[in-house]
Amino acid sequence: MLKKNKREKILKAAISSFAQKGYHDTSISKIINKAGIARGTFYLYFENKRQIFDSILENLIVEIDRCIKKIEIGKERQNPLEQLKDNLRRIFTLFVENPELSRILLRHAAG
């Protein structure tokens, strides 16, 4: 299996585990069992649980950033309120299409 594919497999297992159990109730053992990999393989890609969790959140932030378009003001531009609505629709669509990531964000946004 390619290195990138293994990393993605670990990330998917972690996303699923964090969405189901939350950060504190997810262990590296749960992630590696779900991913079907050896413990050593996990540590080739991530130092610890915190690092993989942060990586997931960073990827989500990048996706949210891609959804948001800069609001431009001017005669030839769409109304700023409409631009804001469009941005919110794109973000909402991202969350609907990625329910596990949405659960992680909502569960941990409050602390």
Chain centroid, CA 82 distance in Å: 27
| Mean pLDDT, all residues of the chain | 90
Domain that holds residue 58: 3-109
Which of these ranges, 11-15, 23-27, 54-58, 73-77, has the smallest mean pLDDT? 73-77
Mean pLDDT of 50-73: 88
Is the pTM value of this prediction over 0.85? Answer: no
- Confidence check: pLDDT of 67 > 90: no
Residue 70 pLDDT greater than 80, yes or no: no
Which CATH number goes with the domain that contains 20?
1.10.357.10
Domain count, the chain: 1
Please give the DSSP secondary-structure letter assigned to residue 104: H
pLDDT (0 to 100) of residue 75: 65
The token pair that represents 67 in the structure block: 């959804």
